[in-house]
Amino acid sequence: MIRIIAGFLVIMAAGGVISRAAASMRVAQVGVEKVGRGKLSYSCDGNGTVVTVQQDQIFLWPEQQVEWVADPGSTVKAGGALVQFRKEYLQQSIDKKQAELNQLELQVSQQKASAREPARVPATTGAGQTLSEAQLGLQTAQQKAAEAEAAYNQFINSSVPDGEDGDVNAKKQELEAALQEANAGVQTAQQAVNQAQNAYELARQEDAAQNTNAANEAQAALLGAEAAQVQVEQARKELERLLSYQAADGKICAVSDCTVLQVGVQAGAVTTGSEIFVTGSGGFQLKGMVKAEDKEKLKTGAEVEVQLAAGKKKTVKIESIGMETGETAGAGSGDDAAGGDDAAGGGVSSMQMFWRAPLPENTNVGGGEQFTWSIEISSEKEYDQIIPLSALREDANEAYCLILSEEDRMLGTLQTAKRVPVTVLEKDLKSAAITSTLTNTDQVIVSSEKYVVEGDRVRLKE
């Protein structure tokens, strides 16, 4: 009996082992890691160019014809010519500007002469004289009328001798006629005065209007003279500038030993003043261009690994970081040691980040040579929770990871995948910095031999 029971137990145990073995063949094996503390690591790389340490932009003289220009990439000693302008063309410009200056000075003189008030006899002079004569005539007429009235009154009031009535009437009529004539003379003289007064008032108004017009014309002439004087000063400055070109023998010369980086004009062209000539001096340095996504990662003092053509990789330290426009990053920047003629093509203007560093020791290169660079950078911030990118999952709702959950049962420990939501703070190529409810003892699933979702049975890789 005992042997029967023992055999039964052996068979049951063997069956359980076989059953668990068969089940384990269907359960995904997973690799796990615990959440850790640390920094993220970034990899940056790019291309660059060997450029001169110092770049100088020279704007060419305007409205001059270029006779000769230094070739891009050529070396020019201090005092050597960078650009030679045609002396004949320069002399023509000087003569033309001198004639323009003379004409403008003549205009100033004419405007000043026009500003002087012209000599004229006021209209009130003649009208005033006429008024005075009319007033004098009125006084004379009034005097005659007064005398005629006095004679008439004296005759009326005098006694008349008897027997002379006929003579009296004749005398009376004579005196009355004289008085009437004198009064009529007064009226005529008064009308003449009134007319002369009106004429004088009209003449006064005409004089006032003419004075106002003359003042306005004089003011306009003065303003014209001032405007012409401004043009004179401008023309004089331009003439002085042209004469300074002539004094320089029609040449733009290098201030110090330099390399021609960019030539913005060709021989025979007439300049507009917007052409730029760029030179470089002070030796050479590395200039690395930085991708937009890496612009927040590089810092001054960081060590960069560079590789020049046909050379070994060397390490340099970033001295400075800057920004420039996309067009400036090309030929327009003046950094390329052999920038060539002024770029006719454009490209979209955008901001471009770059770094500069000294050449590695014992490196003999020329301007314009290309190189590649790379750098490994740790994040400035240290994060409390970092998990591998392989552990990070995302769906339409949130980011999450799966951890190993264990539950003890009669036949053993049941291991399943459990979902834990996470908030992603930052990522690099290998890891993600997160915040979550994970603890230091949680086993985060980082790999699996088959796709696993929450609730699936799993087992650790052996």
- Tens of pLDDT, residues 57-86: 999 999 999 999 999 888 899 999 999 999
Are 446 and 31 within 8 A, CB to CB?
Answer: yes
Half-sphere exposure of 104 (CA within 13 A, CB side): 18
Q: Which tens digits make up the pLDDT trace of 275-315?
A: 999 999 988 899 999 998 888 888 999 999 999 887 788 99
- Spatial neighbors of 30 by CB under 8 A, at least 6 apart, are 404, 417, 445, 446, 447, 448, 449, 452, 458, 459, 460, 461
> Is there a contact between 193 and 134 (Cβ–Cβ < 8 Å)?
yes
Rounded to whole angstroms, the Cα distance separating 309 from 370 reads 7
Count, residues in the chain: 462
Q: Which helix (H) or strand (E) holds 213?
A: helix 165-247
H or E element, residue 425: strand 412-427
Please tell me the distance from the alpha carbon of residue 248 to that of residue 83, in angstroms, as a whole number: 11
Nearest to 27 by CA among 461, 369, 458: 458
Q: Which domains does the chain have, with CATH numbers?
A: 26-42+381-460 (2.40.420.20), 123-243 (1.10.287)
Q: Each residue of 344-358: pLDDT tens digit?
A: 444 456 789 999 999
CA dihedral (340, 346, 347, 353) positive or negative? positive
SS3 label, residue 111: helix
In terms of Cα–Cα distance, which of 202, 161, 152 is closest to 181?
Answer: 152
Q: Decide if 63 contacts 239 (C-beta within 8 A).
A: no
Please tell me whether residue 440 adopts helix, strand or coil conformation: coil
Question: Quick one: pLDDT band at residue 129, thresholds 50, 70, 90?
Answer: confident
**pTM of the complete model beyond 0.85:** no
List, for residues 184-224, the tens digit of each pLDDT value.
888 988 998 899 899 888 988 888 888 888 778 778 888 88
